[in-house]
Amino acid sequence: MQPITHTETESSSEAPEPPRGETITQSVTETSADAGAETKVPDVIVEEQRLNVHHRAKYISVNKYKEVVKKLTALRQSHAQLYDEKQSLEQDMEERINEAVSSERHRAAVRLTAALAERSEDYNALVEKTQSDLRLATRKHSEQLERARHEYFVQTKYQEEQIEALKAANARLEREHREEIKHYKEENQSLLDGLEADTCEREKIARQVEGEMERTKLCYEEKELLKETLFEREAEIENLKQQNMELREQ
């Protein structure tokens, strides 16, 4: 790109061009305004700055300027379109994500509802089975309790009868015991009376025996005395016999 040499014809027909930075920026803005794209995209601004730095020439040709403006406008429109497409794509992606999340939530809610319904059915079945088992156990317990009450009543009645029988037997035994004690007392008294009579008789016999023993003792003493007298008499007789024999010999 070379600077344009201004001739008199160009000077008479066209005004001097502004500096490149102002010209490019103003032209881009005006062209963009004519094209209907008022929104500045950061990438376009960066591109404008890059072009301003790149084109070091003080002046550029009108055709080149228009070409650059046209390219910048197309680039700006392209960036704006890409930005819109990006926003649309992001919005579409967000909508799809939200839709997918909503769909997944709906499916999860459906699965959860089905699982809860299944669990509810299982719980209801378990509750019904538990209540049925409880009713059966209650009925069995009631029957067992009724049987136990009947058995307790029968056993109590039997025990009461046994107690009455034992009381009657105890009264009868006490009566018999009192009669036996009375009989034993009478018999004992009779034995005591007989023993007392026997004692008196034995004492009498003992006294008699004692008297007999005294008499026997006296008889024995008398017998001994008689023996001594007999011995003395025999001695005297022998002495007399001896004297008699001596007298006969004389």
Residues 22-60 have pLDDT tens digits of 444 444 444 444 444 444 445 655 665 555 555 544 445
Tell whether the model's pLDDT for residue 66 goes beyond 60: yes
Q: What predicted TM-score, i.e. pTM, was given to this entire model?
A: 0.31
Residue-wise pLDDT for 120-172, tens only, equals: 888 888 889 989 999 999 999 899 999 999 999 998 999 899 999 999 999 99
Q: Residue 51: what pLDDT? A: 59
> Where residue 77 falls among pLDDT bands split at 50, 70, 90?
confident
Q: Which two tokens stand for residue 108?
A: 């999860």
Residue-wise pLDDT for 194-230, tens only, equals: 888 888 888 888 888 888 888 888 888 888 888 888 8
Q: Which two tokens stand for residue 144?
A: 């067992």
Q: What is the dihedral of CA 103, 109, 110, 116, to 10 degrees?
A: 170
- The CA distance from 30 to 49, in Å, is 17
Q: Residue 237: what pLDDT? A: 87
- The CA distance from 169 to 181, in Å, is 18
Residue-wise pLDDT for 227-241, tens only, equals: 888 888 888 888 888
Contact 27, 69 (CB under 8 A): yes
Please state the rounded mean pLDDT for residues 90-115: 87
> Amino acid identity, residue 92?
D
